[in-house]
């Protein structure tokens, strides 16, 4: 794992955006798996600005949603769907056929996971996976547990996940999560994990200890051969 300590969130975002742009230039039809939340927001904004400078850069880019809150309408402003539409899909003008997305309110959540897994099997593997670090060490909605699921699945949300700003502000709370599994993530050709915020110092210390445990799902990234970890300086003691 290549770890870079960034002096500020802006520096982290600039570096992350540059890495993503470089990878897209190497492979126009790249499959990009995208996290949501505070950590990647400015990175995505920079990609939107890049699209204005290089209008054809994202013409073949494919995007796969990493996870989603379950049990709330797709058009709810707190969904990962709404976030990605606002920050990536619309700014980069990603066509519907190049975007693969969990439905946040499916009739059959288990079948929805099978549908996404089928799309990943056909379109993948993921070329570049963008991740954040959960307050309890989760990756996507792969929560700390005695064992971890390999593929797309319905997740029981932890208390820590429900405290996330995206969920805590919802009037109607999500009742489950929909997420890619650990094997799906670890089969990515390249992983970029973005960590920012002083509130994550405790879990960052556990992550950087290199101790691999299902109680800190992010620790499994130490097993991957091509991970770049950008950490805002304020996130470490």
Question: Residue 85: which CATH number?
Answer: 3.40.50.1360
pLDDT score recorded for residue 171: 64
Q: How many folded domains does the chain comprise?
A: 1
pLDDT band for position 196 (cuts 50, 70, 90): very high
Catalytic residue among 81, 87, 112, 136: 136
pLDDT score recorded for residue 95: 94
Active-site annotation holds for 136? yes
pLDDT score recorded for residue 170: 58
Examine the pLDDT at 162 and tell me if it is beyond 60. no
Q: Among positive and negative, which fits the CA dihedral 92, 97, 102, 103?
A: positive
Examine the pLDDT at 164 and tell me if it is beyond 70. no
Range of the domain at 147: 2-235
Task: Give the pLDDT confidence of 102-114 residue by residue, as tens digits.
Answer: 999 999 999 999 9
- The 8 Å CB, 24+ separation contacts for 48-55 are 48/87, 48/88, 48/91, 48/92, 50/17, 50/21, 51/91, 51/92, 51/93
Task: Give the pLDDT confidence of 18-71 residue by residue, as tens digits.
Answer: 999 999 999 999 999 999 988 999 999 999 999 999 989 999 999 999 999 999
In degrees, to the nearest 5, what angle opens at C-alpha 70 toward C-alphas 168 and 76?
A: 65
Active-site annotation holds for 50? no
Task: Give the pLDDT confidence of 102-159 residue by residue, as tens digits.
Answer: 999 999 999 999 999 999 999 999 999 999 999 999 999 999 999 999 999 999 876 6
Active-site annotation holds for 107? no
Query: Residue 204 belongs to what H/E stretch?
Result: helix 201-208
Catalytic residue among 42, 50, 67, 184: 67
Pairing of strands 2-6, 227-232: parallel
Active-site annotation holds for 115? no
Q: Which residues pair with 229 in a beta bridge?
A: 3, 193
Examine the pLDDT at 165 and tell me if it is beyond 80. no
Catalytic residue among 42, 50, 127, 143: 143
Average pLDDT over residues 198-227: 96
Catalytic residue among 42, 68, 112, 138: 138
The per-residue pLDDT of the chain, averaged, comes to: 93
């Amino acid at each position: 794992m290549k770890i870079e300590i960034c002096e500020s969130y802006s520096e982290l975002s600039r570096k992350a955006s540059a890495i993503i742009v470089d990878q897209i230039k190497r492979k126009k039809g790249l499959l990009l798996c995208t996290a949501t939340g505070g950590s990647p927001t400015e990175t995505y904004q920079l990609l939107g600005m890049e699209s204005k400078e290089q209008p054809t850069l994202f013409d073949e880019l494919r995007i796969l949603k990493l996870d989603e809150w379950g049990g709330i309408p797709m058009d709810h402003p707190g969904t990962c769907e709404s976030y990605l539409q606002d920050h990536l899909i619309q700014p980069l003008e990603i066509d519907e056929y190049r975007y693969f997305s969990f439905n946040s309110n499916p009739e059959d959540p288990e079948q929805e996971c099978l549908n996404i897994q089928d799309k990943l099997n056909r379109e993948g593997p993921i070329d570049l996976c963008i991740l954040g670090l959960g307050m309890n060490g989760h990756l996507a909605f792969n929560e700390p547990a005695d064992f971890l699921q390999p593929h797309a699945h319905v997740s029981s949300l932890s208390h820590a996940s429900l405290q996330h700003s995206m969920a805590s502000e919802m009037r109607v709370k999500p009742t489950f999560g929909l997420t890619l599994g650990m094997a799906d993530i670890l089969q990515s050709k390249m992983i970029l994990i973005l960590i920012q915020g002083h509130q994550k110092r405790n879990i960052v210390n556990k992550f950087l200890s290199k101790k691999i445990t299902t109680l800190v799902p992010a620790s499994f990234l130490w097993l991957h051969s091509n991970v770049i970890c950008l950490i805002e300086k304020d996130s470490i003691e």
